[in-house]
Structure 1
Amino acid sequence: MNTLTIIAVASGGAIGATLRLLLNGLINRHFIHPLPLGTLGVNLLGSLIIGILFAYFHLNTSLSPHLKTFMVTGILGALTTYSTFAIESFFLLEAGHYTHAFINMALNVFGTIFMAGIGYLLVLQLAK
């Protein structure tokens, strides 16, 4: 691993973490609900964006690997919040909110896969 890769991940991570803080707060402030919608929102958005980026990378093979690392590992790695999703789901289960916990888990797991696929297929379709 070289210095440029480390700089790409670190700088992208700073951007992604800041975006996560802002988006999570914005969503939770405007959508009060027992489900952690801020976490769900950033996970869905991040999954959509990674689908879009990977389709773009597929169509543009000459892009710099450092740019790809900056965007995916850096920005999206810090933006999405799988560890937060995991602990929030655990706390819902621990509190006996089984229905909310399972809805939260299903929406995060299946929703993020769906959004990644939508992003990927959308870009490929638009590129035709």
Structure 2
Amino acid sequence: MSQVLAIAGGGALGAVLRYWVSTGVYAMAGRGFPYGTLAVNILGSLLMGFLYIWLLERSLESAGMRAFLLIGLLGAFTTFSTFSIETLILMEGGQYVRALVNTLASVVLCVAAAALGVMLARQL
């Protein structure tokens, strides 16, 4: 039960952080492209890669802390479902090039960010 509460607490915090980060990015970059979601997914992927290694290979943190951070916080912070619907909306609006750019950028940059996080954690 304590892991479930840790996940719930991390999820609440992650959702609020996602809102703040994406709203901030949209305020700076505008809403002509899903910049906020892309930024959140890249940052979340970087943090997931880093924390995955740090918590599972380098740290003695409890299972509850790992659940709080990896499942709860980052699970709610990253927004793949939002990415999917925003890309679909671009496609339905006939903006196929933007939809393709968003798809490729999201996949390539998020996987690269996760790899960078893993690399950084392994160097510490």
TM-score range, shorter chain: over 0.9
* Segments of 4+ moved more than 6 angstroms: none
The count of residues paired between Structure 1 and Structure 2 equals 123
Using the size of structure 1 for normalisation, the TM-score is 0.93
> In structure 2, what is the equivalent of residue 39 of structure 1?
37
The residue type equivalent to 2:58 in the other structure is L
Match of 1:70 in 2: 68
Using the aligned pairs only, state the percent identity: 37
Q: Deviation string for 1:40-62 (max 9, x for gaps)?
A: 000000000011101212112x2
| Higher mean displacement: 29-38 or 7-16 | 29-38
Q: 1:51 aligns with which of 49, 52, 56?
A: 49
* Amino acid across the alignment from 1:38: G
One-letter identity of the residue aligned with 1:56: W
Letter in 2 for 1:93: M
Any stretches of 5+ residues in structure 2 without a counterpart?
A: none
Deviates more, 1:27-36 or 1:89-98: 27-36
| Counterpart-to-counterpart distance in 2, 1:10 and 1:29 | 29
Match for 1:15 among 7, 13, 23? 13
TM-score, L = length of structure 2: 0.96
CA separation in 1, counterparts of 2:31 and 2:89? 15
Unaligned runs of 5+ in 1: none
Cα displacement string for residues 54-105 of structure 1 (whole angstroms, at most 9, x for unaligned residues): 1212112x22011000001100000000000000000001111011000000
Give the alignment's Cα RMSD to 1 decimal.
Answer: 0.9
